[in-house]
Structure 1
Amino acid sequence: MIRKLVAQDIKAVMDIWISTNITAHDFIAEDYWKKNYDIVEKEYLPAADTYVYEEGQQIKGFISIINEVFIGGLFVDENSQGQGIGKALLNYAKEQYNELELCAYADNQKAVDFYKHCGFIITEQQPNEDSGYPEYTMKWKKE
């Protein structure tokens, strides 16, 4: 079931955020993610429309949309990946919004391929403003 984030979900969402980032972005120092934890929890999450994928009262993933167009994050618990949860969350967002944009690290080929498979196209490549690592801007528009 996909539903809107509530306050009680924040710890589970942040646990998924930190562990998945560290694993998926092993080219970035783990300390970078730990330093950004509080900012994400206290600034980004409250500013975004976040939806969680819940199964058996356990949160398995989430998607956060900023300013009704930008996917600030799409994360699925590592033990639940490959089960269609990320695609379900992304499809849910596609139903809610007419266009979506995101940034994905160029070295995270798994994510780039996933978004391409889901209809996103690469429109730009630039260094990430915080980490300096190259990232792609990817966009999707409802037809």
Structure 2
Amino acid sequence: MIRPFESKDLEGILDIWLEANLQAHDVIASNYWLRKFKFSADVLPQTELSVCEDGTTSIASFIGLDGQYI
């Protein structure tokens, strides 16, 4: 189910964000993404976020929209 972001979703979103960046950018040292974690935790909730639950209330994916930028 796709639904709007709720503050309780932030931890799950950040877990996905970190894992996705570590996998997609494996040529970049992991500590780079770990240093960006706090920044992302502050910035992501400022965007228009939607989450997709996997049927168990766990976040399976998310999308953020900042203006016209995904």
TM, length-normalised to structure 1? 0.47
> Is there any run of 5+ residues in structure 1 with no aligned partner, and where?
72-143
Aligned-partner Cα distance in 2 for 1:40–1:58: 20
Matched residue, 2:63: 63
Matched residue, 1:6: 6
1:15-46 deviation line (CA, Å, top 9, x unaligned): 1111111011101111110000000101x212
Task: Please identify runs of 4+ aligned residues in structure 1 that moved more than 3 A.
Answer: none
TM, length-normalised to structure 2? 0.92
Instruction: Give the Å deviation of 1:9.
Output: 0.4
* Higher relative contact order (Cα pairs below 8 Å, separated by 6+ residues): 2
| Structure with max Cα Rg | 1
Aligned-partner Cα distance in 2 for 1:70–1:58: 25
**Hey, which of these two has a bigger chunk of helix by percent?**
2
Matched residue, 2:53: 54
Identity over aligned pairs, percent = 35
Aligned-partner Cα distance in 1 for 2:45–2:51: 14
AA aligned opposite 1:55: D
AA aligned opposite 2:17: W
